[in-house]
Structures are given as C-alpha cells and as structure tokens.
Amino acid sequence: MAWIGKFLFGWTRRVEENTEVLLDEPWRNVAWNNSTRARLKQSLLDYKPPIDSVPQARILLVGAVGAGKSSFFNSINSAIRGNITSQAVAGEKVTTRTIEYRAYQVKANRVGQPLSFLLCDTMGLEASESGGVNIKDIDHILKGCIPNKHRFNPVSPLETCHCQECDSSALKDRIHCVVYVIDSSKFATILLLFSDVPLVVLLTKVDKTCPILEKDLKKVYRSCYIKELVSFRCLGIPVTNILPVKNYSNELELNECCDILLLTAMQKMLHFADNHFDNFNAVE
C-alpha cells in the first residue's frame, strides 16, 4: 500500500472576530433534533463490516499536535455512552500527548460489547523531524503491522525487517479509512495522499472560528469561513469527504447539535470504510 506525505506547516489564517458572514441558505441540510441524534447513534450501534473476516472497521486518526484526534475519540465515546468521557489523554499542548499507537474500542455502556469499529489514535505530526510520529510508522500502521500500544520513537521508526509480513497482513488488521484531523480555527495547508485507502478530513474546533458558531452550532453550514475551508481545493479530496465537528473539551453535559455533527462524521467514516471493503472479495 503506497503512502505519500507532504506537510507544509505554517498556519495560513486565523479567524478575526466579528468578521463572519452567514450564507442565506445552508450548504448541507440537517434536521437538528433528538430524532436525528437517535437515528445516527442507532446506525453506529447496528454497524457491521460487510466482510465476515473483518470483525471491526479500523479508522486511523492522523494530524498535527493539538488538532483534536484523541478528543474526537473521547467525544464519539461520550455521544455513544450518553455521558462525557475522557479515556484518551487529550490536551492543547504544543508537543504531542499521545506517545503510543492506540486502537480504541467504543462501547454503548461500561459492560457492553464493543461496537464494530475501532478508532486508531496516533502520535501527532510535528514540523521537526525529531518530534511527532514518523511517516514510516504511519505506513506500517496502514499495512497492519504495528501492534496496539506500540510506543513511537520519532527518530527511529519500526524497521522494515520487522515488518516482512506486512504486505500479506490480513484485511482485518489493516486500516480501512484514514481521517486527517485539522484544527479549523488555524487552518494549515497540508496535503496527504493515501493510495487505496479512503481519506476523510475532519475539521475540528469549528466553534472557535467565529463567535456565531460558538453560540449556535446549528449555523455551521451557513458559515462562510467553514464553507471556504471545505471548498479549499488544495485539500485535493471531494467536498463530501470533509466533515466539520466540535469535540467535547470542557463540557459536563452532552449537547444535541454537537452530538449530531460528531455522529454524522463517524457514520460517514464507516460508509467510506465500506467503500474500501467493496474492493475486496467477500471471502477474504
């Protein structure tokens, strides 16, 4: 599985307060109500990969330090559980707080069976070659040859000789969808190309882009700034693959609109993973 990575760090824009203009009509239609939240949640509870030999779809989260990868897992876990959770270590530090590769299970409750997907969290990307996850290790993750809780070493990636069986790894161990997580309030020009694996861009912290969204998430699809980011062709992927969300950070209770964005994003990731499974024989 080929991997090409190009990282152009250097934030291109910070949002100026009170400059936000709303579109007359939303560019995506959403029914912001509890029925929508319940329907989305049920779709995740019912999800099963279409190939019997794959018990769980594996969704890989990559992105810069502080973009919200670990927070996204915590937020999805919260939306499914029905209460705020913080299993994964998350924060706003300049250097990454995730130092291990973690394949996180999501459960509907503490004693229930895990759902049929995994959110795989990685060390954050950094501009320095001596910091953050090494792109060679990401290639190994994609191929399914890095075990859960593997500790990353930015200057010493897993040697190829340790991954001689990577190319023949079972489909169940490989990554089925890659999610590039970007902080939408300080957007960077970053292009990642993953051949053979669906790529989704997750725009986090949309509430930080303007005061309007901080007060009312329902206006996210009327935000000119969010629409500009989604339409930014340098991303090189279809608009349908770009999903805005707000992760839970300092809240004590769940929010209906926040859950709808999060659960929608998770549902779409699984749809794209299913598209990937379509490339394989059902007997694999």
When mean pLDDT is compared across 106-110, 155-159, 240-244, the lowest value belongs to 155-159
- pLDDT at residue 283 in the model: 45
> For 146-194, what is each residue's pLDDT tens digit?
777 767 665 555 565 454 555 567 999 999 999 999 988 776 555 555 6
224's enclosing H/E stretch is: helix 224-230
**Residue 127 scores a pLDDT above 70:** no
Mean pLDDT for the stretch of residues 52-59: 96
**Residue 78 scores a pLDDT above 50:** yes
Q: How far is residue 184's CA from residue 13's CA, in Å, rounded to a whole number?
A: 10
> For 193-204, what is each residue's pLDDT tens digit?
566 899 999 999
**Residue 11 scores a pLDDT above 50:** no
The two beta strands, 188-194 and 3-11, are antiparallel
Q: How far is residue 233's CA from residue 210's CA, in Å, rounded to a whole number?
A: 22
Q: How far is residue 121's CA from residue 99's CA, in Å, rounded to a whole number?
A: 10
Strand partners, 117: 57
Cβ atoms of 262 and 277 within 8 Å: the answer is no
List, in sequence order, every beta strand (DSSP E) within 79-176: 102-107, 114-121
Q: How far apart are the first and last CA of the chain?
A: 17
Looking at mean pLDDT, say which of 15-19, 156-160, 218-222 comes out highest. Answer: 218-222
**Residue 232 scores a pLDDT above 80:** no
Handedness of CA 14, 246, 253, 119 (dihedral sign): negative
Mean pLDDT for the stretch of residues 35-58: 97
Q: Between 39 and 148, where is the model more confident? A: 39
* Backbone φ and ψ of 161, nearest 5°: -65, -20
Work out the mean pLDDT of the chain and round it to a whole number: 81
Cβ atoms of 62 and 181 within 8 Å: the answer is yes
- pLDDT at residue 151 in the model: 73
Q: How far is residue 200's CA from residue 151's CA, in Å, rounded to a whole number?
A: 25
Mean pLDDT for the stretch of residues 132-150: 77
Q: Between 117 and 110, where is the model more confident? A: 117
- pLDDT at residue 133 in the model: 64
Residue 218: which of 209, 207, 228 has the closest Cα? 207
**Residue 18 scores a pLDDT above 80:** no
When mean pLDDT is compared across 114-118, 126-130, 173-177, the lowest value belongs to 126-130
Q: How far is residue 102's CA from residue 180's CA, in Å, rounded to a whole number?
A: 16
Residue 50: which of 196, 198, 171, 200 has the closest Cα? 171
Fold of 34-278: Rossmann fold (3.40.50)
Mean pLDDT for the stretch of residues 21-27: 92
- pLDDT at residue 162 in the model: 52
